[in-house]
Amino acid sequence: MSLALDATAQDLLFREAHTASTFTDEPVTDEQVQAIYDLVKNAPTAFNQSPLRITLVRSEEARRRLVKHAMGANGPKTLTAPLTVVLSVDLDFHEKLPRLFPHAPDIKDAFFSELATREAAGTQNATLQAGYFILGIRAAGLAAGPMTGFDFTGIDKEFFGDGKQKSFLVINLGKPGTDAFSPRSPRLEFDEAATTV
Amino acid sequence: MSLALDATAQDLLFREAHTASTFTDEPVTDEQVQAIYDLVKNAPTAFNQSPLRITLVRSEEARRRLVKHAMGANGPKTLTAPLTVVLSVDLDFHEKLPRLFPHAPDIKDAFFSELATREAAGTQNATLQAGYFILGIRAAGLAAGPMTGFDFTGIDKEFFGDGKQKSFLVINLGKPGTDAFSPRSPRLEFDEAATTV
């Protein structure tokens, strides 16, 4: 079964790409991150709510504040990556909805006046965007090392003191270094993951 | 700033692709869905937990049972799509971890013995996989119409009576039909979505 996506792109994004745990010293520039963002921003979110926020952790001081909240090997991995980003949900994403969803500006108040609703919808849609972003890192010719082993409540207090952003994923990115990749673990067969009704 | 991903693939997956609200009658085969799955299954989840489950709603009877739980225009849209899939989280994904994460088989019990932990981690990782899956639909040369406007508790009772799966997204897929696309709404600028610390 052939896909419309060419084989080179399939390999770059999915088949040959691997989560990296080590990186070279080659810097990751703001321009590269912007190119990733400008690609993946086009992928869909519900009502175009676009709640994902990206914090580029560049300074040595910010990096040290981040790794205080890392679990296990994620701290040392993060200290040696050329760039680390914290992905978070903007809990006030609705403020931008009249501009992002101009054909139904009333949705801001009709659907999203409650914080709990925004947190649920924002988390779901920012997580979809995180999936797009991981593939976008690969589209830029870089390797991603996504990590959930952090104290995200601690990160939020450390970096988002106003309580308006909730972090949920930390990603190291760069060119893969020595022994960057573990062998790929097995995946579920189609018949295990899919059912027809 | 050039990306490693070729421009044709950028257009197919991100820049020219749009959420579709109408579709042609051309069928979407099981082989196409499997090709999508076999591509996107490679993208990462935490501990390779791979909690996403895909329900292909094929029979007319199942389609009718699904649209009972649709809100607004999502019912009529779903009735005219050649194929609709329900994406859900397998709350018992941990049962497969000894096979999926063979170098640390103790993780199943050490990390995932609690249902609440599995629901949180499973929902996050299945949602990442949903992001990959939406791009996979486009990689197959099809258009996706992801929808969150459903009563997912109702879908779960209707299709997953054992309480072991929680649905969170419904996607119509097929070749785009007449007037399938709305104009793209604005996206946030990089400086609005990203901050450097």
Query: Does ipTM come in above 0.90?
Result: yes
Mean predicted confidence (pLDDT) in B59-73: 97
Measured distance CA(A175)–CA(A190) in Å, rounded: 31
Burial group, residue B73, by CB count within 10 angstroms (0-12, 13-18, 19+): exposed
B58 contact A CB<8A: yes
Residues in chain B with CB shorter than 8 Å from the CB of A176 are none
3-state SS record for A163-193: CCEEEEEEEEEECECCCCCCCCCCCCCHHHH
CA distance to partner chain B, nearest, from residue A30 (Å)? 9
Instruction: List the single residue in B10, B15, B42 with the smallest CB-CB distance to A15.
Output: B42
pLDDT in tens, B30-39: 999 999 999 9
- Look at A40 and B184 and tell me if their CB atoms are within 8 Å: no
Helix axis angle for B30-40 and B115-139, nearest 10°, is 110
Percent of chain B predicted with pLDDT > 70: 99
Percent of chain A predicted with pLDDT > 90: 95
pLDDT of B1 strictly over 70: no
B120 confidence band (pLDDT: 50, 70, 90): very high
pLDDT at res. A1: 63
Q: What average pLDDT does chain B have?
A: 96
Mean predicted confidence (pLDDT) in B153-180: 96
> Does residue A50 or residue A179 have the better pLDDT?
A50
Q: Quick one: closest CA in B to A34, which residue?
A: B190
B157-162 long-range CB contacts below 8 Å, 24 or more apart? B158/B65, B158/B66, B158/B68, B158/B69, B159/A197, B159/B55, B159/B62, B159/B65, B159/B66, B159/B86, B160/B88
B107 contact A CB<8A: no
| Residue numbers of B between 65 and 94 with CB closer than 8 Å to A | none
Count of other CB atoms within 10 angstroms of residue B81: 23
What domains does chain A contain, in order, with CATH numbers? 18-174 (3.40.109.10)
Instruction: List the single residue in B32, B99, B190 with the smallest CB-CB distance to A1.
Output: B32
A53 contact B CB<8A: yes
CA distance to partner chain A, nearest, from residue B40 (Å)? 6
pLDDT at res. A47: 96
- A with B: how many residue pairs have Cβ under 8 Å apart? 232
A187 contact B CB<8A: yes
Measured distance CA(B156)–CA(B160) in Å, rounded: 5
pLDDT at res. B2: 83
- Look at A9 and B9 and tell me if their CB atoms are within 8 Å: yes
Q: What average pLDDT does chain A have?
A: 96
Mean predicted confidence (pLDDT) in A33-60: 98
pLDDT at res. A32: 98
pLDDT in tens, A116-126: 999 999 999 99
- Look at A188 and B127 and tell me if their CB atoms are within 8 Å: no
Instruction: List the single residue in B19, B52, B101 with the smallest CB-CB distance to A44.
Output: B19
